[in-house]
Structure 1
Amino acid sequence: MRELPVLLLLIAVTAGPATAAESLLVENAYKNISLSGYTRSIIHQTISSEVSGKVLQVNYDIGQVIGEKPIIQIDPTFVTFEIETTRHAIRRLNIALKKSASREDFLKKEFDRFDALYKGKSTAQSRRDAALEEYSQATLESETISVEKSAQETRLMELMERKRRHTISAPNGWIVTGKHVEVGEIIAPDTPLAVVGDYRQLVVPLSVSANELIALQQLPEEFTATLDKEPVRAAINWINPEFDEQTRKLAIEVIIRNFHGEGRGGRFFSLALQVLTEGLRIPKTAVINRYDNPRVRIKATDEEISVLVLGESNDHVIVADSPRLKPGLELAGRP
């Protein structure tokens, strides 16, 4: 029974010097905050028409996911008529080109025959020159038809592209969030028809102070936050360097890397941060508080400095900034 007090005495002697050896340092003050915001789609677009016409089909309603079908179909009747007319014109030019080529071959043979007779002094030069002129005119006519055919083919491509734009599509997997037109309406170019967004990835716009941004940038590239109180992985998507002089904050966007549940706007995002704040953090054991006059003593010089206590947390107090107190300065304990 006499061994127990000896054991307790050994423990007390061992623990004492370790506590005394702890340094009492001035530190920067931090506060715990929570950055919060609400989700939205990573991208959204307003769908507009480049052509005029009557709306034949609206294949999706608000909230529906876009699949293979186009979102809106505009009546292409008149441009289809123009396409058929142009194709007929090209066919006529092909026929004319064949006729011109046949005539050109015939006149070339005629010219060669008269040229041989002229060289044999069996015909007059005027007859040879007339054959040459007819052949030259036939060649020019073939070239004219070829140019006209090329122009009609270019017009056909233009009309085909115009017809393609009567079918208005949006990316697969996006969701319709706004619909501004119904079947049967006549629309003009640049008319907004619908709004779509990609909710497969969610982002959260935030407005942060300079200290909050510094704390964010000190986090890993991917950090843990909460979405509707469930843990998620997130990262900074972009930082807008433009400073808002009214709020004195910067706009940033956080992208959520993985999430469970609905892909939609309005889900609550929260991120806990420790942010540098005004004042200094000092251990309570370094504060001499006699007669309501709190002071600290610098260990190296034994000089006492008055401090203004702003608050406290656990075993530390927060004091106002002082030019004589710097982070890292070692203080003496209370006598």
Structure 2
Amino acid sequence: MKVQNNNLLSYLQLFVLAAMLCLATPATLRASSAEVFKAAPASRVVTLTGFTRPRVGMTLVSEESAMCMSVFADMGDTIGPKGRFAILDSKFIKLEIAQLRADINRLQSDLDYFRKEADRYTKLVKRNTAAQSELDLHMRNLNGAKSKLRLTQLKLHVDQEHLRRYTLRAPAGWKVIKRYIEPGEWVTKGEKVAELGNFNTLLVPYALTVKELDKIIKMGSKVTLEFPGFDKTVEAKLERISPDFDPETRKIDADFEITSGDFKFRGGLRTELKIEMPDPGGAVVVPESALVKAYDDKFLVRPDGVRVKVLLLGKSKDGKLRVSSRAVKAGEEFLLTP
């Protein structure tokens, strides 16, 4: 009887020991066999809005004062290949040019006469048949005629340049944004006559943070812009960056250039620039199977069996879940199917 009691006691001790082993080692056993994953950093899409504008704009100003005779382009028109925008009345400047040309012919005749006289008296002085003073007088007349002829020729060149400016010209292919003059109107020197823009190339200005700008530069300075108004996209490149920043917004001004696209190039088209940036709150992306639900709370489980409470933020583009917790960092390992 005593032997049977000892056997029974041994069986009970073995049973208790086995139960304790089962309770003490399940998490370790599961951790060694269960599949794990690394939490990936979550990202968010930053959407910026900008509007197209001409690559270059300019104000056309009259350099002469005269009456406007004709205008060749109205608002929205394209400047022709000759580059003419308007013509001013050039009647008086043409009369001055005609008078100067007549003066040049007269002075050229005087110059020829004084040159012959100077040559003749030079020979006479060499023969001692004329006084040196007479030769000096004719040389003086010759030099005076040369100076007057040169001065008149310069005045002619100046008036011809003025005549050229009576035709108001603009770069060919540019478009008229605003027009300020009409035929028959008096135009004053220095007055604005039109606003022009080069719409063959468009610029889109954006205000970017330093991190957003660095991300675009790492992408090769090329981005895709969306047109929400007519469901189109276009390729653009980073054209120029301001060396300064706006102290109020703490952002940097940058211009993106559009050189081609299947749409009518004009200003004021609304564009959107979408940049995928790291989540500023430190959120991570995890598979849906990794979450453990307990009542209204959700947890991630570490390989050692420790649960970490997380806040569910939503789904990411690839179908995974975005979660956030101060105790969860990107790159940490958790159980895939706890």
Deviations 1:2-35 (A, max 9, x none): xxxxxxxxxxxxxxxxx9655323x433102333
> How far 1:270 moved relative to its partner?
2.7
2:225 aligns with 225
> How far 1:56 moved relative to its partner?
0.9
The answer as to 2:225 corresponding to 1:238 is: no
1:64 is paired with a residue of what secondary structure? coil
Deviations 1:200-250 (A, max 9, x none): 222222223333323322324444333432232221122223211222322
Q: Could you tell me how far apart the structure 1 residues matched to 2:330 and 2:132 are?
A: 103
1:47 aligns with 60
Which amino acid in the other structure matches residue 196 of structure 1? L
* 2:238–2:254 contact (8 Å) kept in structure 1: yes
* 2:35–2:335 contact (8 Å) kept in structure 1: no
1:97 aligns with 111
What are the residue-to-residue correspondences of 1:102-181 with 2, within 5 Å? Answer: 102-114=116-128, 131-181=131-181
> How far 1:157 moved relative to its partner?
1.1
Q: Could you tell me how far apart the structure 2 residues matched to 1:304 and 1:248 are?
A: 42
Q: Could you tell me how far apart the structure 2 residues matched to 1:157 and 1:304 are?
A: 93
* 2:35–2:337 contact (8 Å) kept in structure 1: no
Which amino acid in the other structure matches residue 260 of structure 1? D
> How far 1:294 moved relative to its partner?
6.0
Which amino acid in the other structure matches residue 324 of structure 2? V
> How far 1:82 moved relative to its partner?
2.0
Which amino acid in the other structure matches residue 212 of structure 2? E
1:10 aligns with none
Structure 1's 308 and 162: CA in aligned 2 closer, same or farther, altered over 3 A? farther
How many correspondences in the alignment?
A: 298
* 1:226–1:270 contact (8 Å) kept in structure 2: yes
1:258 is paired with a residue of what secondary structure? coil
What are the residue-to-residue correspondences of 1:3-42 with 2, within 5 Å? Answer: 21=35, 23-25=37-39, 27-42=40-55
Which amino acid in the other structure matches residue 81 of structure 1? L
2:190 aligns with 190
Q: Could you tell me how far apart the structure 2 residues matched to 1:187 and 1:310 are?
A: 70
2:72 aligns with 59
Which amino acid in the other structure matches residue 58 of structure 2? Q
1:145 is paired with a residue of what secondary structure? helix
* 2:83–2:171 contact (8 Å) kept in structure 1: no
> How far 1:291 moved relative to its partner?
7.1
Q: State TM-score, norm by structure 2.
A: 0.77
Structure 1: 5+ residue stretches without partners: 1-18, 115-127
Structure 1's 169 and 303: CA in aligned 2 closer, same or farther, altered over 3 A? farther
1:259 aligns with 261
> How far 1:73 moved relative to its partner?
0.9
Q: Could you tell me how far apart the structure 1 residues matched to 2:295 and 2:50 are?
A: 47
Deviations 1:22-54 (A, max 9, x none): 5323x4331023333322221221111111111
Q: Could you tell me how far apart the structure 1 residues matched to 2:302 and 2:36 are?
A: 15
Task: Among all aligned residue pairs of Structure 1 and Structure 2, give the percentage whose two residues are the same amino acid.
Answer: 25
* 2:48–2:272 contact (8 Å) kept in structure 1: yes
Q: Could you tell me how far apart the structure 2 residues matched to 1:189 and 1:38 are?
A: 35
Deviates most, 56-65 or 214-223: 214-223
> How far 1:194 moved relative to its partner?
0.8
> How far 1:164 moved relative to its partner?
1.0
Which amino acid in the other structure matches residue 118 of structure 2? E
> How far 1:136 moved relative to its partner?
2.5
Aligned counterpart in structure 2 of residue 271 of structure 1, from 273, 276, 283: 273
Q: Could you tell me how far apart the structure 1 residues matched to 2:83 and 2:56 are?
A: 21
1:248 aligns with 250
Which amino acid in the other structure matches residue 102 of structure 1? K
Deviations 1:86-124 (A, max 9, x none): 22222121111001011011101111111xxxxxxxxxx
Q: State TM-score, norm by structure 1.
A: 0.78
Deviates most, 212-221 or 239-248: 212-221
Structure 1's 216 and 95: CA in aligned 2 closer, same or farther, altered over 3 A? same
> How far 1:267 moved relative to its partner?
2.6
Q: Could you tell me how far apart the structure 2 residues matched to 1:173 and 1:20 are?
A: 69
* 1:42–1:202 contact (8 Å) kept in structure 2: yes
> How far 1:70 moved relative to its partner?
1.3
* 1:225–1:269 contact (8 Å) kept in structure 2: yes
> How far 1:184 moved relative to its partner?
1.3
The answer as to 2:90 corresponding to 1:76 is: yes
* 2:301–2:307 contact (8 Å) kept in structure 1: yes
Aligned counterpart in structure 1 of residue 100 of structure 2, from 71, 83, 86: 86
> How far 1:83 moved relative to its partner?
1.6
The answer as to 2:295 corresponding to 1:281 is: no
1:205 is paired with a residue of what secondary structure? strand
Structure 2: 5+ residue stretches without partners: 1-32
1:319 aligns with 324
